[in-house]
Structure 1
Amino acid sequence: MPKAYVFTRSGGPEVEALVEQEAPTPGPGELLVAVRAAGVNPVDWKLRNGYTRPGSAPPQYPAVFGSEAAGVVEQVGPGVEGLEVGDAVFGNPLTGGYAEYTLMPVAVTAHKPEGLSFTDAAALPVAAATAYDGIRQLDPAPGSTLLINGAGGGVGVAAVQLARHFGVRVIGTSSAAKKDFVESLGAVHVPSGPGVVDRVRAVAPDGVDAVYDLVGGDALRAVAELLTDRKRLISAGGKPLAVELGGAAVVRARTAAVLDEVARLAVSGAFRAYVTQTYPLAEAAAALRAVESGHTRGKIVIEVAAA
């Protein structure tokens, strides 16, 4: 019977389990996908801890982890057009990506280009698409200066590269340990933590034109001081606080068209997915612990099955 990595109730790592469960059946507008790879994101363990996405119903237990996946279409539901059995796809699963089989909605599923591996494709629907949506929302002018607060994580890595691709100067904050990594992406690195505002001003005496926050909390409060126009502040890490400070939350498009564009940019070399670690499904717990630690570089992906 197919395997899946689940959480059985709200709580910590003790509520996680690798289980066997039947493959789901696709409904209207849905695809049954044999998963090849699944991206690991902070939202995965936050959902386990009890977080509920705005507008979403509480999870039905056992709930399968995973908000992004890539694989091969096994079955199509009623009304599906444009995708068929055997197609390689990636997107946002309905029933969790840490599984051998998952359901994916056609509206947020795209063809995987031949030049993109399943592993890299599985790293795009959450982190890279969030980065793309945020950069497009800010629409920074070429030559302007963008501060990315939290440049070393999955979203930050993609955001730095995309902004640089569009001709924007990027200052990226992260821990000192990620300095070389952030600089390799094309950003000017500034160590995060107390005194970050003075350090940013030292490398950008003319100020910054926009801030893309991926951290939230006190780190967001600090860098907000760098802007005279708070409307140029967006956040994916502390959305309510960003609004309180006069900015906005990142507006997610969540469409197949965005996934197509992100994949095109990846294949063209505009940015790399930067998958820095992979784990088999049997070691999903270790993959989650790595992301939950908050110290990862780039993306972690669970390779569910061989391509």
Structure 2
Amino acid sequence: MSLLTQKALVHYSKGGDFVVGDVPIPVPGPHEVLVKVMAVALNPVDWMNQAEAYFTPSYPFIAGMDGAGIVEHVGAAVTTLVKGDKILFQGDFNNDHGTFQQFCLVPAEIAAKIPEGITFEQAATIPLGLGTAFCGLWNHDPAAKSIDFPAPWEEGGAKFKGKPALILGGASSVGQYAIQLAKLAGFSPIVTSASPRNAKMLRAIGATHVFDRALSNDDALAMIRTATAGEAVTFAYDAVSRTETASLAYDALASDGALLLVLPDVLPADKRANGDTKKVVSVYGVVHPPENRKIGVEVFSRVTGWLETGVLVPNKVELLPGGLSGIPDGLRRMKENKVSGMKLVALPQETA
């Protein structure tokens, strides 16, 4: 570790407060780069992990799963990035790779260059939300939590053209990327639930039908069936994953359809009939583990081009004040369900 220090947002115990403190700046390994972190985005897993330590290996701990910044130092074996490159990347559940700090390490093969016209703030909204969408959809590793659909660039990837898809929680970060990947895969119609104020934004990124998330399940199911002309849904993504939303998605599925959940399976036991062939998977969207690395490398290699051509559109940004110091209040708002249609973003270099 370097003797040089930086500011980081640290918590020291399960359920403990986040505290801005000084920590060493790490040194990249052969296949890593050191990044000056210019923008970080907040995710529900950040406050969930703070409260329950689901993914905390030890304390003190530096969280943060979304980042964008400038390459400062390059590991000896890295050939794809150079000092000065602007990149977006996922963090991981260890202190060297967590993004809630001013400098962190990034495996070079799972970073994407930020094209002209995309800000650091916009770029930081992409990595975990997108990963949570594509890891569940297109990962073929036997150990992965995936429905194992062929990707659009693979043989058989065109078979979903014209098939209906359902995305619940469309205005969430994951929901927005799930809509865009469903469009890329050729699904149509793409039906989603959201607050009415977010309907226009969701149609702009690929949703064909938006229904009010406040509808009862019976009314929502009727609207879904109207939107699909009575055809059952081939693919559903529940970016909310409460019992009510998972039940709605399951009821809308075709008998051989597939449902992705962002949280552990909360479907009532009586939903699954004997011999039911509907597939239900709780996704894990972090691209660092071995089972997710290959699809992570594949998709991150395409992200720059997708951003340049408009295939992929970042989330809208709400900027938090105070650099890293503004993150705890943002996480509180997320926990209280006071954020909708926006990604909260902080600028670590502005930390006092």
Q: Do they fold alike, i.e. is TM over 0.5?
A: yes
> Using the alignment, how far apart are the partners of 2:174 and 2:201 within structure 1?
14
1:268 to 291, 309, 328: 309
- Matches for 1:66-105 after TM superposition, within 5 Å: 66-94=64-92, 95-105=97-107
Q: Distance in 2 between matches of 1:116 and 1:191?
A: 31
Tell me the equivalent position of 2:248: 222
Structure 1 pair 145–115 and aligned structure 2 pair: CA distance change class (3 A): same
Secondary structure at 2:349 match in 1: coil
Shift in Å at residue 68 of structure 1? 1.8
> Match for 2:319: what amino acid?
T
Q: Rate the CA distance shift 1:260–1:119 in 2: closer, same or farther, 3 A.
A: farther
Q: Which of the numbers 108, 113, 116 marks the counterpart of 1:106?
A: 108
Distance 1:231 1:74, change over 3 A: same
Task: Establish whether residue 155 from structure 1 lines up as the match of residue 195 from structure 2.
Answer: no
Q: Is 1:6 matched up with 2:49?
A: no
Query: Structure 1: where are the runs of 5+ without partners?
Result: none
In structure 1, what is the equivalent of residue 289 of structure 2? none
8 Å CA contact 1:196–1:223 kept in 2: the answer is: no
In structure 2, the partner of 1:130 is 132
Q: Secondary structure at the match of 1:2?
A: strand
> 1:250 maps to what in 2?
283
Distance 2:53 2:250 in 1: 26
Structure 1 residue 26 displacement after superposition: 2.0
Q: Deviations over 1:166-191 (max 9, x none)?
A: 44221111345544443444421122
Matches within 5 A, 1:136-175: 136=138, 137-138=148-149, 141-168=160-187, 169-175=189-195
Q: What is the CA distance between 1:113 and its match in structure 2?
A: 2.8
Structure 1 residues 105 and 242: CA distance shift in structure 2, 3 A = farther
1:41-56 maps to which residues of 2 (within 5 A)?
A: 41-53=43-55
| 8 Å Cα contact 2:205/2:313 also seen in 1 | no
Q: Which runs of 5+ in 2 are unaligned?
A: 139-147, 151-158, 273-278, 286-291
Cα distance change on mapping 1:28 and 1:111 into 2, 3 Å: same
Distance 1:70 1:83, change over 3 A: same
Structure 2 counterpart of 1:34, one-letter code:
K
* Alignment match, 2:344: 300
Say whether 1:189 aligns with 2:223. no
2:21 to 13, 19, 30: 19
| Alpha-carbon spacing, 1:24–1:211, altered in 2? closer, same or farther (3 Å) | same
Give the conservation status (yes or no) of the 8 Å contact 1:146–1:208: yes
Q: Check the 8 A contact 1:190/1:196 in 2, yes or no.
A: no
Question: What is the deviation of 1:233?
Answer: 1.6
Change in CA separation of 1:270 and 1:242 when aligned onto 2, cut-off 3 Å = farther
* Paired residues of 1:120 and 1:275 also in contact (CA < 8 A): yes
TM-score under structure 2 normalisation?
A: 0.75
Identity of aligned residues (%): 26
Kept in 2, the 8 Å contact 1:90–1:111? The answer is yes
